[in-house]
């Protein structure tokens, strides 16, 4: 593929457009990215795209940003990643900045204030709905450790004001340990990993 | 100094929000409401509402909102840059590892281990947002007499709609807002 100005513009503008018109964050934008880069542009094949998304989901930070970094890096290395990050971040940055000025000017207006007050109850319900779905998924798995982690994390955060980062580090280490055990412990050391990679 | 503080706070949000979606919520709340007092709990709930109705990830929306409010457009840019910097570094490292080794099961194991904690943290933030919506404050002690019955009704109705009919959350929130305008003006 020729990497001319048009290619870079296309890479940047594709992510910009996806980001500007996708409501609802990573869960929505990722399938649309697949459609754009796999089906329409045919730049990346389907299996590789799934891996790129999985890696994006494994890293911290917004999934939409991470997936776009992966696509940019895959297409044009580090400069490509910077282009796609810029394309993903610019629309919300511009839109929210504009809304913030509006919000600060109008929040004392009676109608706007009651509108937001009503919507606060709405967003509380949206978050409750998300939490119910996520917790149900963990409980349905019927594994004891995740349920204990969930319960203890909740108590630590809600009643003891334990630092969130501490809770995440502890449960992350626990996850790493169980993943390591599940893979057969010491048998799977870095050597076998390397061999796999050089196939 | 303020710009640096914004950058650093959202750098931490970006660095520790695993799992996408609402995972960033408790971290943003801790940084923005509790540690730095940049937003009141009510304003924090408002940015979540705005975030639901505009494109883009919650953490990017929150960083743009808080940055603009605290230090104008430079603040928005500093906070947003802070939010995506950890992603850029970590994802590029993972990308390089992926193209060399093709194996990421350890990383995925860590993510699986984190998920229950993330759910619990979102629940914990969700409760303070709910208390803010119902009582106007999330600070204990909360007196039952401060309960806003209209907000409680809107919350129950919204949750029922979401569980029963699974509509786009945007419509539920807009509906709650419009009903709020009607109820509170009576």
For residue B124, the chain A residues in CB contact (below 8 A) are 154, 157-158
Report which of B168, B174, B64 is spatially closest to residue A99, judged by C-alpha positions.
Answer: B64
Contact B87, B16 (CB under 8 A): no
Size of interface A-B (CB pairs under 8 A): 374
Shortest distance between the Cα of B40 and any Cα of chain A, in A, equals 13
Q: How confident is the model at residue A28 (pLDDT cuts 50, 70, 90)?
A: low
Q: How is chain A split among helix, strand and coil, in percent rounded to 5?
A: 85, 0, 15
Are A122 and B173 a contacting pair at CB < 8 A?
yes
Q: Are B33 and B44 contacting, i.e. CB atoms less than 8 angstroms apart?
A: yes
Q: Please enumerate in sequence order all residues whose Cβ is within 8 A of that of A29, keeping only pairs 6 or more positions apart, or say none.
A: A18, A19, A22, A63, A64, A67
Tokens of A138: 């963990």
**What pLDDT is recorded for position A197?**
31
- Mutual orientation of helices B58-101 and B41-53 as an angle, nearest 10°? 60
**How many residues would you count in chain B?**
186
Per CB-CB distance under 8 Å, the chain B contacts of A116 are 46, 49, 177, 180
Q: How far is A38 from chain B (nearest CA, A)?
A: 18
User: How long is chain A?
Assistant: 199
Output the average pLDDT for chain A. Answer: 83
List chain B domain ranges: 2-104
Q: Is the pLDDT of residue A117 over 90?
A: no
Asked if pLDDT for residue A27 goes beyond 80, the answer is no
Where residue A153 falls among pLDDT bands split at 50, 70, 90? Answer: very high
Given this model, what pLDDT does residue A26 score? Answer: 58
CB contacts of B32 in chain A (<8 Å) are: none
Give me the pLDDT at residue A96, please. Answer: 93
Question: What's the CA gap between B60 and A63, in Å, rounded?
Answer: 11
Percent of chain A surpassing pLDDT 90: 32
How far apart, in Å, are the Cα atoms of A98 and each of A93, B76, B145?
A: 9, 11, 38
Question: What is the model's pTM?
Answer: 0.78
Q: Would you state the structure tokens that stand for residue B61, as one six-digit string? A: 């929306």
Provide the pLDDT for residue B82: 96
- The structural domains of chain A, with segments of one domain joined by +, span 1-106
Query: A70 in contact with B at a CB cutoff of 8 Å?
Result: yes
pLDDT block averages, 10 residues each, chain B of length 186: 95 87 87 93 90 85 94 96 94 83 66 82 88 82 83 95 87 90 88
DSSP state of B31: I
């Amino acid at each position: 593929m020729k990497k001319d100005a048009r290619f870079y513009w296309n890479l940047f503008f594709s992510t910009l457009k996806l980001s500007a018109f996708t409501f609802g964050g990573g869960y929505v934008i990722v399938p649309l990215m697949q459609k754009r880069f796999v089906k329409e542009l045919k730049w990346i094949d389907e299996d590789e795209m799934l891996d790129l998304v999985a890696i994006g989901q494994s890293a911290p930070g917004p999934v939409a940003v991470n997936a776009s970094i992966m696509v940019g890096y895959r297409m044009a290395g580090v400069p490509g990643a910077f282009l796609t990050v810029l394309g993903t971040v610019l629309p919300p940055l511009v839109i929210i900045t504009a809304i913030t000025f509006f919000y600060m000017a109008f929040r004392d207006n009676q109608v706007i204030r009651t509108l937001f007050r009503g919507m606060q109850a709405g967003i509380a319900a949206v978050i409750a709905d998300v939490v119910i779905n996520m917790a149900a998924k963990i409980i349905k798995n019927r594994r004891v450790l995740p349920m204990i982690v969930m319960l203890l994390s909740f108590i630590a955060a809600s009643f003891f004001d334990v630092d969130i980062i501490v809770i995440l580090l502890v449960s992350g280490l626990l996850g790493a340990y169980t993943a390591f055990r599940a893979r057969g412990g010491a048998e799977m050391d870095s050597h076998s990993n390397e061999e796999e990679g050089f196939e | 100094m303020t710009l640096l503080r914004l950058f650093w706070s959202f750098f931490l949000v970006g660095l520790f929000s695993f799992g996408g979606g609402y995972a960033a919520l408790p971290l943003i709340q801790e940084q923005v409401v509790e540690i730095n007092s940049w937003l009141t709990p009510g304003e924090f709930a408002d940015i979540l509402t705005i975030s639901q109705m505009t494109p883009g990830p919650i953490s990017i929306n929150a960083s743009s909102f808080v940055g603009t409010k605290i230090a104008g457009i430079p603040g928005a840019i500093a906070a947003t840059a802070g939010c995506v910097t950890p992603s850029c570094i970590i994802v590029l490292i993972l990308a390089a590892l992926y193209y060399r080794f093709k194996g990421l099961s350890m990383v995925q194991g860590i993510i699986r281990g984190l998920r229950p904690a993330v759910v619990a943290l979102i629940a914990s933030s969700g409760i303070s947002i709910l208390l803010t919506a119902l009582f106007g404050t999330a600070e204990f002690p909360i007196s039952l007499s401060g309960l806003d019955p209209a907000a409680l009704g809107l919350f129950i109705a919204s949750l029922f709609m979401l569980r029963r009919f699974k509509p786009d959350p945007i419509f539920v929130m807009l509906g709650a807002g419009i009903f709020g305008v009607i109820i509170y003006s009576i």
